[in-house]
């Protein structure tokens, strides 16, 4: 029996996120639907005339889903494809994606019934659409994590806790430093971390010295190190991984997250104002107060900014990337507060983008 065909009309600039969405869609529909995606390297075999194969696919398709994104709206090609499909009595469904809103699109596409993808539930509308068209009964099972990964892959950071600023963060480090304040040895801490992953039904791998899952690694350092356990996180998944790391830390450390530094390392082009009289002037009246020594306080967090420093032969030092370190004053950490702080620091030019890379 021939599988029904649907056509994903899209901009080639959105290739990667549409490839990911196609794979998820085909997985959730059990391979019962043929999805034509011109940029996937499979829908158009090598040697085939591209325009001719697109026309063939349109002739075979029962539904065309037009993915309206900031990229595709700048191109005239999707309007051509949509118009051709509509003239062939193919059902054309406009879908706002990656921040584009179909209500803001001009006719004639805006006159067609469609929807915006803004959550896992609206992703499930893709499943409902083919169920209705082909009398299938597939379950809508997209997850929040899958939606967030698609949004980030496509450059839509509206749903990320850090918003667009996530693009400026390289990685996040959390280090347990007080060896005498642990409930267990560092190696036992890794075992506890593995237990948390298991409880959450999260895939993980490692050995007695480290364990990692998606977006998060926990590892021990040298037995004589003042930092016996270190967590490294990718910024894309911090809405999931920071709470997970905190849960593990509360298993390991008597005071939980209180007094622990959460360090956001920025990409190389970010710099900071490092003269105290200048940065405090810029932050006056913003809810920031003075802490001990050179520290500052915002929403229950001590924070500071500086450059990572590495030492080389003959006493030379390299001044590297900027970091923002936040330290909760109690056993609680709100990612939204850290996000507000980061937005504040960039808006006041305490943190800023620069092309400089300083070496001394």
360 lies in some domain: no
For residue range 187-241, list pLDDT tens digits in order: 788 899 999 999 888 889 999 889 999 899 999 875 555 557 899 999 988 988 9
318/92 Cα distance (integer angstroms): 57
158 lies in some domain: no
H/E stretch holding 240: helix 238-252
Task: Note the pLDDT of residue 242.
Answer: 95
**Orientation angle between helical segments 144-153 and 15-28, nearest 10 degrees:** 160
185/193 Cα distance (integer angstroms): 12
Q: Is the pTM of this model over 0.75?
A: no
140/102 Cα distance (integer angstroms): 22
Interval 33-40 mean pLDDT:
76
359 lies in some domain: no
Interval 242-270 mean pLDDT:
92
Q: Which of 80-94, 131-145, 148-162, 203-217 shows the lowest mean pLDDT across its residues?
A: 148-162
Whether 69 contacts 75, CB under 8 Å: no
145/354 Cα distance (integer angstroms): 32
SS3 123: helix
Interval 130-151 mean pLDDT:
88
Tokens standing for 93? 């469904």
Pick the last residue of a domain from 153, 183, 213.
153
H/E stretch holding 271: strand 270-272
Give the domain range for residue 13.
5-153
Do 144 and 167 reside in the same domain of the chain?
Answer: no
Do 143 and 176 reside in the same domain of the chain?
Answer: no
Q: How many independent structural domains does the chain possess?
A: 2
For residue range 282-307, list pLDDT tens digits in order: 999 999 999 887 789 999 999 999 98
For the sheet containing 61-68, what is the strand order? Answer: 34-36, 5-9, 61-68, 91-96, 115-116
């Amino acid at each position: 029996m021939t599988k029904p065909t649907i056509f994903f009309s899209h901009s080639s600039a959105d290739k990667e996120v549409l490839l990911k969405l196609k794979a998820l869609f085909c997985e959730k529909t059990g391979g019962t639907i043929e999805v034509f995606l011109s940029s996937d390297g499979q829908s158009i075999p090598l040697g085939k005339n591209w325009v001719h194969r697109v026309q063939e696919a349109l002739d075979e398709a029962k539904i065309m889903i037009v993915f309206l994104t900031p990229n595709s709206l700048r191109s005239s090609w999707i309007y051509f494809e949509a118009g051709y499909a509509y003239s062939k009595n193919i059902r054309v469904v406009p879908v706002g994606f990656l921040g584009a809103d179909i209500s803001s699109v001009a006719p004639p596409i805006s006159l067609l019934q469609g929807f915006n993808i803004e959550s896992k539930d609206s992703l499930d509308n893709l499943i409902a659409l083919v169920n209705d068209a082909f009398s299938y009964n597939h379950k809508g099972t997209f997850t929040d994590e899958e939606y967030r990964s698609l949004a980030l892959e496509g450059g839509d950071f509206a749903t990320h806790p850090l918003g667009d600023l996530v693009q400026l963060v390289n990685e996040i480090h959390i280090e347990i430093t007080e060896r005498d304040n642990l409930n267990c040895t560092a190696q036992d801490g890794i075992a506890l971390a593995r237990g948390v992953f298991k409880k959450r039904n999260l895939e993980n791998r490692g050995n007695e010295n480290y364990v990692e899952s998606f977006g998060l690694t926990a590892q021990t350092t040298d037995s004589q190190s003042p930092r016996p356990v270190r967590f490294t996180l990718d910024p894309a998944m911090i809405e999931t991984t920071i709470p997970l790391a905190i849960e593990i830390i509360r298993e390991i450390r008597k005071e939980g997250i209180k007094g622990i530094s959460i360090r956001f390392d920025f990409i190389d082009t970010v710099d900071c104002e490092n003269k105290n009289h200048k940065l405090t002037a810029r932050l006056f009246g913003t809810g920031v107060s003075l802490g001990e020594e050179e520290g500052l306080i915002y929403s229950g967090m001590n924070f500071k900014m500086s450059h990572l420093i590495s030492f080389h032969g003959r006493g030379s030092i390299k001044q590297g990337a900027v970091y923002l370190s936040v330290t909760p004053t109690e056993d609680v950490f709100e990612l939204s507060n850290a996000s507000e702080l980061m937005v504040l620091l960039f808006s006041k030019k305490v943190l800023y983008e620069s092309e400089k890379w300083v070496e001394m």
